[in-house]
Structure 1
């Protein structure tokens, strides 16, 4: 009788253990903690094959960086980079799905597989090339040093020493400010940097020249001026997760086709009245 009771308890414990183990197991439709992913393998993939199977390409962009990526008066996401990315998707044969993110979240987003590509004026730099793939450059821009209109102290990049510069933390523009001794005040993007500059909370910002000229067109009374232009032009490309050669080739093919048939020039002239690929 005693033996039978012990056996019964043992069987009950074993059954419960197997049940709990089954609840926490991982399969093709769950994550390691049992969180359902719906079996969507595209969530972490960035190969051309998987993108075509999904029928969409996920594009990381800010949505707050006019005239490259911003919302118009109706709330629609638009801009030079947005139109370019949409055309790339069309030529690959898939739908463009834009996922908006702050600049400093772009790199973490592509690392985590949230985006297949990032189209957001990402400068092609040696340190980034070690971790990410890039398309051929699709536009060229120069950094400008911006200060308040009544600022007489800062006239060159060298004058940034010990001055407060509003910058996003991972931008190549920030590196220019750092190299010239500026104290970096973190911002979420161009618009916030301009707001802080106008409010007198920072001394300067190193930012994209094309963005500034677009800003002045829309806000001609803004009390901000350019005091210097950096001699080195920044070449910007589509950023892609490392190892996706077929996807890189497909993006480059789309860009070349757009240049050849005049589509690129049409988009460029719409936002800048000139060809910004050179």
Structure 2
């Protein structure tokens, strides 16, 4: 019996040793399993490395499509409007076309009302906005701007018979006709004006002429263009801002490559005198540099 017990014990120990060696060889014990050598690591890295290209940028897509899409109002003379033949024309339109040409692509336009124009950019309905978008700190937190291509001075416009308003400060408590989301509305409100909502400058100035609003605020260039086309309109400028408002092409926050390409294009157009040429065509003076 003692001999049989000894034999069974010996067999059991041998089997246990064999099992332990087998487990260590299989690497089931992380403390005893051998790590792969450098060659194995290199092989694993090579086999799992991504092989696809990076996600195309908006600029890449523009180049591939052969066109860039700009949003603009189409009702904001002299920046963006329709001529007698119903062609979309204007200062912003021609600047956008010149930029597109520098990029080596065609400029296409999506016309939309101002109140929804930035939301459309967020929804990727177009690549950029060329519609006298003023550069503000609030917008810079969420979007990218090109370098400025327009410098305009704010003007308070009133009915020709109005004698109560002679300065920005006089807007306090007055009804000011403006698009509620425009930069000019913020200016008017900062002086205590009450905004009467409109769809754009044309409607705003008509309310002033009709006496349904006390004033409107816009850039002086837009008003001068209006007076050139309607010299008998009973409106006048009573105050001009000291500092210029800068406007630029608006882009989505992640489109830095497109911003750089557009900035390069604008710099070349400025150096060549093309921006000045477009400005003089529409305004009789150069509004593309800060005076």
**Normalised by the size of structure 1, how large is the TM-score?**
0.82
Quick one: which of 193, 210, 224 aligns to 1:213?
224
Query: Does the CA-based 8 Å contact 2:171-2:191 persist in structure 1?
Result: yes
Query: Does the CA-based 8 Å contact 1:139-1:236 persist in structure 2?
Result: yes
Query: Does the CA-based 8 Å contact 2:57-2:257 persist in structure 1?
Result: no
CA distance in 2, matches of 1:234, 1:129: 14
- Secondary structure at 2:205 match in 1: helix
Query: Does the CA-based 8 Å contact 1:57-1:89 persist in structure 2?
Result: yes
Deviation at 1:148, TM superposition (A): 0.2
CA distance in 1, matches of 2:69, 2:85: 23
Q: Does 1:268 align with 2:279?
A: yes
Q: Does 1:133 align with 2:153?
A: no
Q: Does 1:107 align with 2:99?
A: no
Deviation at 1:74, TM superposition (A): 1.1
- Secondary structure at 1:109 match in 2: helix
CA distance in 2, matches of 1:230, 1:103: 23
Query: Does the CA-based 8 Å contact 1:46-1:241 persist in structure 2?
Result: no
Deviation at 1:95, TM superposition (A): 1.3
CA distance in 2, matches of 1:46, 1:162: 48
Aligned pairs for 1:145-156 within 5 A: 145-156=156-167
Q: Does 1:255 align with 2:261?
A: no
- Secondary structure at 1:59 match in 2: strand
Q: Does 1:170 align with 2:205?
A: no
Deviation at 1:198, TM superposition (A): 1.1
**Normalised by the size of structure 2, how large is the TM-score?**
0.78
Quick one: which of 167, 171, 190 aligns to 2:201?
190
Quick one: structure 1 residues 190 and 222, their matched pair in 2 at CA, closer, same or farther if it must change by over 3 Å? same
Deviation at 1:46, TM superposition (A): 6.8
RMSD, matched Cα = 1.1
Quick one: which of 243, 248, 256 aligns to 1:245?
256
- Secondary structure at 1:188 match in 2: coil
* Unmatched 5+ stretches in structure 1: 1-44
Deviation at 1:164, TM superposition (A): 0.7
Q: Does 1:181 align with 2:192?
A: yes
Query: Does the CA-based 8 Å contact 2:270-2:276 persist in structure 1?
Result: yes
- Secondary structure at 1:57 match in 2: strand
CA distance in 1, matches of 2:168, 2:132: 22
